[in-house]
Amino acid sequence: MALSDIYQKASLVQIPSGYKSGTLYSVVPNTADGDFTVTGDPQGEATRVNKDGLIETVSANVPRLNYDPTNPQDPTLLLEPTRTNECLYSKTLSSWSELNGGSLQTITNNDAVAPDGSLTASTITFTGAGTSLLRQFSNKAYTSNKHSSSFYAKKISGNGSVFFGITDTETEFTPTDEWVRYEVNNVTPTDFGTNLFLDLNFDCSAGDKIAVWGMQLEEGTYSTSIVKTAGSAVTRTVDDFQNSFTGLTSTAGTVFLDFETKGLDSNFGRLFAVHDSVTSDGIYLGIYSTNTIGFFGIDGGAGLPDVKDTISFNQRNKLVLTFDGSGNYKYSLNGSLQTGTYTGTSRQYDEIGRGNVIGGSSNNIVINQFMVFNEALTDSELEEITSYKSFGQMARALSYTIE
């Protein structure tokens, strides 16, 4: 069976593409019944990478379609938890303290074009060889909770290196000729100072010049998209994503999800669900531990056993679950199908999504695409839908144009 024929069988197909404020359109069905309600930061603090590869701030409740500059035809939907950038000045070095080596360098704010296209990046030009330490204290009192930090850097000249980190935990980076975001993640601060702080520690020679921008300090095990600050901490609120779709009424079905996730912030994090909004019966995707992900089912307190696999973060994953209404299921994560049985046959769905409605708002997920079928697909059909190279390819099979 051709790829397009299989997708035409789907009850719902979501390829992140067309949208307006508060709404993300589905490919199937192509009516309002398929639309997803999307809520984001009401103050407009959320950012994304646009088609041109520039970081831009989106308006309140606009779906964050994120683009990879190397593959601009295939946007993804970015859904993140609430995070606060505790670095008080993210764009410039105007408030950073020179703790040593100040005589070796000249700092110039608003001196280079930043990753968002504005002239807001700072440059550090070295007049002598040696090390130099810049530090910015946050207003956040010291805590041993996990934190992550990130910044953008670009080499203007020379081959200097940068040590960047939280309190006394640093990692060395060597900037390139292009803007690159560097991250230090999952750090437990060990310097028992009064407040948490970030360090930029340079090891450079005379004539070296480095541009920096987008410094971020946030509580969590992984770094999230940049939240811009200019004198105070700024919070970006959680993204939510859901659809109440009455077209999902079969006792047999297939759920397919093409996604990425960066890590786990809570002991158990639900990422995605197809379920009954009244009873909560349904199929849930969740992270169980630092490297385990899987589906679990709820059916009147019983149902589908937990089906787990080891997951690699920060890479694309294709996950599929099919059940036949007679107590048999098949499951796959980036590989061969596993089979098993479950108790109960009731699978009546009317809601799809993540976030507050299903308790999954503490973790992040990047959705490439997903589909729901009101039938159990055959093995050959499952192999077909998991073998496509891009969701752009799938969209073209459906004769659907991505904006």
In the predicted model, what is the mean pLDDT of residues 4-30?
A: 87
Q: What is the DSSP letter of 222?
A: S
Backbone angles phi, psi at 65, to 5 degrees: -85, 110
pLDDT at 271 over 50: yes
In the predicted model, what is the mean pLDDT of residues 264-273?
A: 68
pLDDT at 205 over 90: yes
**290-309 pLDDT, tens per residue?**
677 777 666 654 566 677 77
How far apart (Å, rounded) are the C-alpha atoms in residues 194 and 188?
15
Label residue 215 by pLDDT band (50, 70, 90).
very high
**Exposure on the CB side of residue 193, measured as CA atoms within 13 A:** 14
Q: Shortest CA distance to 51 belongs to which of 41, 34, 65, 37?
A: 65
Name residue 335's amino acid: G
Label residue 192 by pLDDT band (50, 70, 90).
low
Q: Do domains 3-82+238-397 and 85-235 have the same CATH topology?
A: yes
Domain ranges of the chain: 3-82+238-397, 85-235
How far apart (Å, rounded) are the C-alpha atoms in residues 342 and 297?
9
pLDDT of residue 359: 47
Label residue 2 by pLDDT band (50, 70, 90).
low
pLDDT of residue 391: 52
Query: Among residues of the chain, what percentage have pLDDT more than 90?
Result: 36
In the predicted model, what is the mean pLDDT of residues 252-277?
A: 77
In 352-383, which positions are buried (b, 16+ CB within 10 angstroms) versus exposed (e)?
bbbbebbbbbbbbbbbbbbbbbbbbbeeebbe
Query: Among residues of the chain, what percentage have pLDDT more than 70?
Result: 85
Answer whether 158's CB lies under 8 Å from 128's CB: no
**218-264 pLDDT, tens per residue?**
999 899 999 999 999 999 998 888 887 766 766 788 889 898 888 77
How far apart (Å, rounded) are the C-alpha atoms in residues 77 and 98?
40
Label residue 360 by pLDDT band (50, 70, 90).
very low
Label residue 355 by pLDDT band (50, 70, 90).
very low
pLDDT at 310 over 90: no
Say which CATH topology domain 3-82+238-397 has.
Jelly Rolls (2.60.120)
pLDDT at 138 over 80: yes
pLDDT of residue 8: 81
pLDDT of residue 402: 44
How far apart (Å, rounded) are the C-alpha atoms in residues 236 and 46?
6
Listed in sequence order, the residues at least 6 apart from 375 whose beta carbon sits closer than 8 Å to its beta carbon are 9, 250, 252, 253, 254
pLDDT at 373 over 60: yes
Considering only residues 334 and 86, tell me which one the structure prediction assigns the higher pLDDT: 86
Q: What number does CATH give the domain 85-235?
A: 2.60.120.260
pLDDT at 163 over 90: yes
Which long-range contacts does 300-305 make (Cβ < 8 Å, 24+ apart)?
300/344, 300/346, 302/343, 302/344, 303/342, 303/343, 303/344, 304/329, 304/342, 305/340, 305/342
pLDDT of residue 389: 59
Label residue 344 by pLDDT band (50, 70, 90).
low
Considering only residues 220 and 355, tell me which one the structure prediction assigns the higher pLDDT: 220
Rg value, the chain, Cα = 23
Label residue 346 by pLDDT band (50, 70, 90).
low
Mapped onto helix, strand or coil, the DSSP state of residue 128 is coil
